[in-house]
Amino acid sequence: MQSQKIRIRLKAFDYRLIDQSALEIVETAKRTGAIVKGPVPLPTRLQRFDILRSPHVNKSSRDQFEIRTHQRLMDIVDPTDKTVDALMKLDLPAGVDVEIKLQ
């Protein structure tokens, strides 16, 4: 696996889970001898929803809800076979979406 790069993108609703997962990935990659760039915090995606409180009238009375999606990006430069095996066996917490691309 010479001159390749692994790009890992993490998404989660809870920033503590995503930071913990990023730390585990960085420690695992460094332990196997790979070079890690990141984690880079990407902009948080914010979705807001306005819901009417009353089922009949009072349109001016509304509830607001929001969903925040936190994202992190990291690159593993020149990964070894041990790095790939260690990343495959890594157990991350539930609620963290992991997207891995090999470039």
Instruction: Tell me the per-residue pLDDT of 35-91, one tens digit each, with 9 for 90 and over.
Output: 999 899 999 999 999 999 998 888 899 999 999 999 999 999 988 899 999 999 999
Task: Confirm if 14 and 95 have CB atoms less than 8 A apart.
Answer: yes
Q: CATH no. for residue 80?
A: 3.30.70.600
- The domain tally of the chain equals 1
Structural domain harbouring 42: 3-51+60-100
- pLDDT tens-digit map of 1-15: 457 899 999 999 999
Rounded CA gap, 11 and 17, in Å?
A: 10
User: Taking phi first (over 0 means left), then psi (-120 to 50 degrees means alpha), and beta for anything else, what does residue 95 get?
Assistant: left
